Amino acid sequence: MCSRYLGFFLLVWFPGALHAQSAALQCAAPSLDHGNFVPVKETYSHDSKLTYACRNTHKPAVEGWWAEIVCQHGTWSHTPRCIEEKACIPPTIANAKYTEASEGWYKEGHIIRITCDKGYEHKDNIATAKCINGTWSSLPMCEISIKSCRAPPKIPHAIIVDQGYQELFLEDAEVKYECEDGYSTEGSHKKTLFCLAGTWTEGPMCRSRPDIGHGGSVEVGPGEGHSTSSGHGTQPGSGGSSSTSANRPLFIPIENCGTRPNVPNGVVVEEHRMYLKFQCNSFYKQVGEDTVSCYNDGSWSKLPVCEDAFCVMEPGHYDRGLDLSVTEYIKEGETKYIPCTWPDYSVAVHCSNRRITYTRCCTTYDHHRGTCS
């Protein structure tokens, strides 16, 4: 009997509860001065999307000339707002902080001053930007400080302990290494490196312990190791036993390497006290590391190579209605539309593995439908 009444109660109460819960997830139509939004409704259900744009002399307080908001659990993802065209939205500056505007945007003429994160410094000593006619003047940048260190060196037969992954280490930061089982360094199993003036102190050398293996010893340091043996035979050419170790190549400031290296079809995009960073020009792809350092013997580390990454179509008559009067360059993986001899028709030219393929002359509509081959 009780269970029958309980079932009746749930049938009456539960739908009402579901309706109340659904209503709580809805968003009311937002207000928007100097703008319009679509679709226009009184309420919007959870996950509904609403697009809005601003009328003349105004723009959204986000990037772009139109914007979108989403209803999430009864609240819009952000409050739609139209601001004057000459105002500026908050800029994005990596590795930096600045005072945020209470309104969420900045009036024309406003000046912001950035503060670089720890381990970074102002590039060219520029720390401010001014809002001019809706855009920021040349934004300041924060680059890695010459006193900070990048990733610590890799040491054979050793691992880093008590340290999570980091891309940047502040000056005086320390990293602890631990030799693998069967290896030790200077009678210890651990060693610590320090970041000093942008360079890591010299690392440990993990060598095989004499009591491990076949009675010989192997010294291994950064670079290639050298083996010695004892108790069985002699060292070739020496008549006795000896012990040598590979010297780890040390990096020094690039000013000690003299003339800067040249990478054909490449340019230097970042210059640091301890390295140069290259980037290949458009239409070329990079092979090898982009960062070049100076060794302590005055030589440069291996340079990257910028290989061709484009196709060329010379002037002339081609089949399928294509006539070229100028040379056309197409990037690797790119599709370029070249006008045909007939108005409003073009050929889709594709470059892959430095080989060209192209379609017949088609309209833009046919190209987009994928029916042109």
Average of pLDDT values for 132-157? Answer: 87
- Tokens coding 26: 């809805």
Q: What pLDDT shows up at residue 249?
A: 54
CB of 88 within 8 A of CB of 136? yes
Query: Residue 148 — φ and ψ, nearest 5°?
Result: -90, 160
Q: Among 36, 56, 84, which residue terminates a domain?
A: 84
Q: DSSP labels for 68-83?
A: EEEEETTEESS---EE
**Distance between CA atoms of 367 and 181, rounded to whole angstroms?**
63
pLDDT for 182-208, tens place per residue?
787 765 566 788 888 888 887 667 887
111 pLDDT higher than 50 = yes
Please count the structural domains in the chain. 5
Residue 84 and residue 107: Cα distance in Å, rounded? 8
pLDDT given for residue 115 in this prediction:
92
Is the peptide bond prior to 156 cis by the omega test (within 30 degrees of 0)? no
Question: What is the per-residue pLDDT for 241?
Answer: 33
Give the residue with greater pLDDT, 236 vs 23: 23
At residue 65 the predicted structure's pLDDT band, cuts being 50, 70 and 90, is confident
Residues 178 and 201 in one domain: yes
Give dist(CA 260, CA 275) in Å, integer.
11
Residue 275: its pLDDT value, please?
A: 86
Give the whole-angstrom CA distance, residue 243 versus residue 221: 13
- Distance between CA atoms of residues 243 and 217, nearest Å: 9
What's the CA gap between 223 and 22, in Å, rounded?
A: 65
User: What is the C-alpha to C-alpha distance for residues 63 and 219, in angstroms, rounded to an integer?
Assistant: 58
Are residues 315 and 302 part of one domain? no
Residues 173 and 216 in one domain: yes
Tell whether 107 and 74 lie within a shared domain: no
172 and 140 within one domain? no
- How many residues appear in the chain? 373
Q: What is the pTM of this model?
A: 0.43
And the tokens for 196?
């000093």
Task: Give a yes or no: residue 319 inside a domain.
Answer: yes
- Among 26, 23, 21, 22, residue whose Cα is nearest residue 75: 26
Q: Does residue 217 share a domain with residue 165?
A: yes
Q: 10 falls in which pLDDT band (50, 70, 90)?
A: very low
Q: Which residue among 281, 307, 333 closes a domain?
A: 307
DSSP lists the bridge partners of residue 131 as 136
What are the distances in angstroms from CA 99 to CA 105, 111, 113, 114, 136? Answer: 11, 10, 8, 8, 15
Q: What is the pLDDT of residue 186?
A: 65
At 209 the pLDDT is 66
Do 333 and 354 form a contact (C-beta atoms < 8 A)?
no
Least confident of 2-6, 86-90, 164-168, 287-291: 2-6
Q: Summarize the confidence of residues 147-164 as an average pLDDT.
A: 82
Q: What CATH number is given to the structural domain containing 76? A: 2.10.70.10
Res 159: pLDDT = 84
Q: Is residue 10 part of a domain?
A: no
**pLDDT tens figures, 113-136:** 999 998 889 888 888 999 999 888
In this prediction, residues 314-326 reach a mean pLDDT of 79
Q: Is residue 7 part of a domain?
A: no
Identify the band that residue 23 occupies on the pLDDT scale cut at 50, 70 and 90. low
Instruction: Show the domain range for 274.
Output: 252-307
Instruction: Note the pLDDT tens digit of each residue in 222-265.
Output: 333 333 333 333 333 333 333 333 444 577 888 888 888 888 88
Contact 320, 347 (CB under 8 A): yes
Residue 337: inside a domain: yes
**39 part of a folded domain:** yes
Are residues 158 and 137 both part of a single domain?
Answer: no
pLDDT of residue 214: 37
Residue 202 shares a structural domain with residue 218: yes
* Same-domain status, 164 and 192: yes
Same domain, 169 and 134: no
Residue 12 has pLDDT above 50, yes or no: no
Given a contact cutoff of 8 angstroms between Cβ atoms, the answer to whether 359 and 371 are in contact is no
Q: Are residues 214 and 262 in the same domain?
A: no
Please check whether residue 37 lies inside any domain of the structure.
yes
Domain assignment of residue 184, yes or no: yes
Does residue 13 fall inside a structural domain? Answer: no
CB 176 within 8 A of CB 188: no
221 and 153 assigned to the same domain: yes
Q: Give the residue-averaged pLDDT of 44-69.
A: 86
